[in-house]
Structure 1
Amino acid sequence: MKIGLIGCGRVGLTIGYFLKKKNLLYGVFDKDKNALKRAVKILKIKKNPDYANLIKNSSVLLFATPDDEIINAYNKAKKYIIDRKYLFHFSGLLPAEIFPKKRNIYRASIHPFATFPKIMIPSTRDRYILFAQGDKESIEIARATLPKKNFSIRKIKKGQKPLYHLLGVFSSNFVAGLSEAIQILIKKLGWKKENFEILALPMIFDSLNNVVKYGVEMGLSGPVIRGDVKTIGKHLKTLRSNPDLYDTYRALSRLIIKYAPGQRQKALRKILKIN
């Protein structure tokens, strides 16, 4: 079965890398000529088909474009889609049904629950979990075609995708956002950047390990879990000059205030201005 890749960015190249290793990748396309040239070189494609033949001869088409470009990419390809095709996109938020339903088209979204900050070939991971939603036929093709050594496929319902995508945002983007907040505090102290690695990262890893080992409630330490109202008041006073850090402190405290001693929660809610 021939697989064509449309979109040669971070996700597309990573998936394409594993497919190429199994001789499943027929060819690639990107509207950016430089991105296409880079992909052909990185994936070591000796003879890349022209666009029309890529679409016509591929049984499976992977649309690895940004979300708002998926339909544009499909519209460009549709005049060459004549025989049976299995269409996939990689959006974590959008459903498979953004592709039109036709007798010869089977649709699915397959989203890797992972972060791709830049192109890393060979991949830093050997295995990815893909969350699949869409037509039964396409999901079956994905299971049969994608190398099981590298991909584990889990089904997800269409209505679950917004919450699922938020799970990824909280697990990745907001971890980076919290890291930015930490680095702002280090800068305000007048300390060097390397203190993020020396001081903050070990504490971050310890905190995550505590959550894994003991759960959120038992893995917590600090002023909120102690119900230390005076300390929290001093923190808020210090952060008033930076509205972003001030709001972040209040928002995160709100999530864990339920684990504070019951008799202290009312005072904590008051100082944190939580209704």
Structure 2
Amino acid sequence: MAHCVIGPGRLGSALLAALNASGQSVVAVGVRCAGSEDRASSPPFLDSTSAVAATLATGAATKVLWLTVPDDAIAAVAGQTAMASQPRGRVAVVHCSGLCDLNTLEPWRRVGAEVLSLHPLQTFAGSEGEAQRLNGIPIAVTAVSATARQLGEQLVNIIGGQAFLVPESAKPLYHLAATVASNLFVALQSQASELLRQAVNSADLEQAVQLLSPLLATSLRNIVERGPQAALTGPVARGDVGTVRAHLSLLERQPARVQLTYRALSLQALSLAAPRLDNEAVQTLRRILDSSPDHLTAPGPEIT
């Protein structure tokens, strides 16, 4: 196989490292910003069109073009590169978006390429060791044809991941799940850290993050090992109405979005805890958590 990676950002860089580590031939890296080319590097950094042309010119039986650009740019990059290409032999074009469907690669499909999507269920924050972030990671494979699905599974194996199939129609829901699990989880920890920072009267948010880290690590381990229902602890899990009332009272002095987050997630926790609580506790908790004050349900100020 011969590979071309277009978009050497966080994911693209990790992918490039994984392909190199597996002994694959990476012919070129495509860059979209003028002035970013570096023909002396190995593999060379070329403009996207030139990088694709160099890859297609090889004698490899299969040429794989990876588009690791932002979601909004996939269709444009696909159109630009396909328009200037004359594919020979087997060509596969892969985008790595968790949300976008395969229609974004339609320009390549029209010229005879196989199109598919491979999305790592992993976060890439730009820290050291990104090259190892794909090892053993679940990677969603979306393809229409059986041959494209087989190729997707082969590519996932090459870069060290674990393939699983996501139908094209389910990609938005899949991406929503990933967003809640990762991005919104980070936002939730930001809220928790700010509350703890206030409690210990510290100006250092990083200290609060470090203080919470053992609790966070244990909670995650319990979820993975035991599942959400068995991992749930705390006042809602115990049916402790008095503690929940005290929390709601404290939250009156916090921004509305923090209050809404507490209420919404406590109701989700209650759905997990309800089978082991008495009916009176469940009904009382549901009533006090569901009864948001009017100022919480009114439109809030725009966040800048």
TM-score bracket for the superposition, by shorter chain length = 0.7 to 0.9
Q: Is contact 1:186-1:195 (8 Å) kept?
A: no
Report SS of the residue matched to 2:247: helix
Using the TM superposition, give the Cα deviation of residue 82 of structure 1 relative to its aligned residue in structure 2, in angstroms.
1.8
CA distance in 1, matches of 2:187, 2:7: 28
Are the aligned partners of 2:99 and 2:175 in contact in 1 as well (CA < 8 Å)?
yes
Shift in Å, 1:194: 4.6
Given candidates 108, 126, 131, the residue that maps to 1:118 is 126
Match for 2:153 among 139, 143, 166? Answer: 143
Structure-2-length-normalised TM-score:
0.80
**What's the counterpart of residue 179 of structure 2?**
169
1:270 equivalent to 2:304? Answer: no
Q: How many residues in Structure 1 have an aligned counterpart in Structure 2?
A: 271
Which shows bigger deviation, 255-264 or 242-251?
255-264
* Cα deviation, residue 71, structure 1: 0.7
Give the partner amino acid of 1:12. Answer: G
Q: Name 1:250's counterpart in structure 2.
A: 263
SS at match of 1:45: coil
Query: In structure 2, what is the Cα distance between the partners aligned to 1:176 and 1:49?
Result: 35
Pair 1:74 & 2:83 matched: no
Q: Which residue does the alignment assign to 1:133? A: 142
Note if contact 1:88-1:109 (Cα within 8 Å) is conserved in structure 2: yes
Q: Matched residue of 2:69: which SS?
A: coil
Measured after TM superposition, the shift of residue 28 of structure 1 is 0.8
CA-to-aligned-CA distance 1:73-122 (integer Å, 9 cap, x gap):
11211222222431110000111232213251211011011001116455
Q: Are 1:221 and 2:238 counterparts?
A: no
Conserved 8 A contact 1:89-1:108: yes
Partner of 1:90: 96
Is there any run of 5+ residues in structure 2 with no aligned partner, and where? 57-62, 293-304
Distance (Å, rounded) in 1 between the aligned partners of 2:216 and 2:182: 14
1:224 CA drift (Å): 0.9
Distance 2:46 2:209 in 1: 46
1:196 aligns with 2:196: no
Q: Report the TM-score when normalising by structure 1.
A: 0.87
Where does the alignment leave 5 or more consecutive residues of structure 1 unmatched? none
What percentage of residue pairs aligned between the two structures are identical? 25
After superposing the two structures, state which structure 1 stretch, 140-149 or 13-22, moved more.
Answer: 140-149
Q: CA deviation at 1:251?
A: 0.8
Name the structure 2 match of 1:106: 114
Cα distance in structure 1, aligned partners of 2:47 and 2:7: 14
In the alignment, residue 64 of structure 2 is paired with which amino acid?
A: V
Q: 1:9-59, CA deviations, whole angstroms, 9 ceiling, x for partnerless residues?
A: 11111101111231421101111246555xx89xx5154556444223332
Contact 1:111 1:132 in 2 (8 A): yes
CA contact (8 A) 2:30 2:49 kept: no
Kindly state the Cα deviation for residue 250 of structure 1 after the two structures are TM-superposed. 0.3
Q: Which residue in the other structure is 1:55 paired with?
A: 52
Letter in structure 2 aligned against 1:55:
V
Could you tell me whether the CA contact under 8 Å between 2:141 and 2:166 is conserved in 1? yes
Report how far residue 140 of structure 1 moved. Answer: 2.7
Alpha-carbon distance, 1:70 to partner: 0.3
Q: Aligned partners of 1:215 and 1:143: how far apart in 2?
A: 28
How far residue 247 of structure 1 moved from its aligned partner, in angstroms, is: 0.6
Report what 1:31 is aligned to: 32
CA contact (8 A) 2:65 2:92 kept: yes
Range 67-76 or range 118-127, more displaced: 118-127
Determine if contact 2:14/2:132 at 8 Å carries over to the other structure.
no
Q: What secondary structure is seen at the aligned counterpart in 1 of 2:72? A: helix
1:178 aligned to 2:179? no
Name the CA distance, whole Å, in 2 between partners of 1:50 and 1:249.
48
Seen in structure 2, the aligned counterparts of structure 1 residues 149 and 30 have a Cα distance that, compared at 3 Å, is closer
Given that 1:61 and 1:88 are in contact with CA atoms closer than 8 Å, whether structure 2 keeps it comes out as: yes
Distance 1:194 1:6, change over 3 A: closer
| 3-state SS of 1:99 partner | helix
In 2, the alpha carbon distance for the partners of 1:182 and 1:55 equals 46
Please state whether the residue corresponding to 2:42 is helix, strand or coil: coil
Matched-pair contact (CA < 8 Å) for 1:87–1:108 = yes
